[in-house]
Amino acid sequence: MSKLHFKFKPGANQASCDELISRLSEDGADVCPLFKATTNKQLASVYALECESAAKTHQLKNMLESSAEIEYVETEVKRKLIRPKASPADSAPH
């Protein structure tokens, strides 16, 4: 599974943005806003794209990079959450 994040430019034409999202979906990508419940216009213009094939994701990344409506597109960074181990003092009653 490959993922991309992309952002529409401020002032991007809404019809062009909708058309681009439709094209991505038709090409087999799952596309959704990264911040679904926000009212902030900057955050609302950031999207996540998920695709089964790395080759297809690369093709879609190239398509996004060539679009005049896109500010940036990047491969999602894989992160590993590391939780600190609890010390004995953390578990002692207070």
pLDDT band at 51; cut points 50, 70, 90 = very high
Domain assignment of residue 50, yes or no:
yes
Domain assignment of residue 94, yes or no:
no
Across 4-8, 14-18, 19-23, 84-88, least confident range: 84-88
Domain assignment of residue 54, yes or no:
yes
* Average pLDDT of every residue of the chain: 89
Q: Which residue range(s) make up the domain with 42?
A: 2-75
CATH number where 10 lies: 3.30.70.60
Its pTM surpasses 0.85: no
Residue 21 burial (10 A CB sphere; 0-12, 13-18, 19+):
middle
Domain assignment of residue 81, yes or no:
no
pLDDT band at 94; cut points 50, 70, 90 = low
* Number of structural domains found in the chain: 1
Residue indicated by tokens 């010390």: 87
Domain assignment of residue 67, yes or no:
yes
Domain assignment of residue 41, yes or no:
yes
Axis-axis angle for helices 54-65, 14-26 (nearest 10): 160
Residue 91, token pair as written in the block: 């578990």
